[in-house]
């Protein structure tokens, strides 16, 4: 009997990303239809990452990746307050589609 396939980390795209970035993320992660139960969250400046969204994601959320330069839309205190006590990472990405895709993929892998 073959060994079961390992589960891939679940990533919720709270904001649209370019198609090529989504394809790359989908190759390595399970793209979640909602924040609940996600291990990673990808946002953009148009999406406020606040306590409400973080609470919706739940205690398994380990990485918040902002598909932008800067974190003005991220409540950093709330994002770093991990209810599971394991620590949570907040990352930002920018400057061109190739760099963003690879960076978003590597950040989500860190979860």
Helix (H, G, I), strand (E, B) or coil at 105: helix
- Number of residues that make up the chain: 111
d(CA 79, CA 64): 7
| High-pLDDT (> 90) share of the chain, % | 41
Query: Does 50 score more than 80 pLDDT?
Result: yes
pTM of the model: 0.75
Mean predicted confidence (pLDDT) in 15-19: 92
d(CA 87, CA 81): 7
pLDDT band at 31 (very low <50, low <70, confident <90, very high): very high
């Amino acid at each position: 009997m073959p060994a079961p396939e390992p589960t891939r980390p679940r990533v919720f795209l709270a904001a649209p990303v370019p198609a090529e970035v989504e394809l790359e993320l989908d190759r390595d992660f399970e793209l979640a239809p909602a924040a609940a139960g996600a291990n990673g969250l990808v946002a953009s400046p148009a999406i406020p990452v606040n306590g409400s969204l973080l609470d919706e994601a739940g205690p398994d959320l380990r990485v918040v990746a902002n598909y932008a330069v800067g974190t003005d839309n991220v409540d950093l205190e709330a994002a770093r307050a991990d209810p599971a006590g394991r620590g949570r990472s907040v990352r930002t990405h920018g400057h061109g589609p190739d760099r963003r895709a690879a960076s978003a993929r590597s950040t989500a892998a860190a979860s």
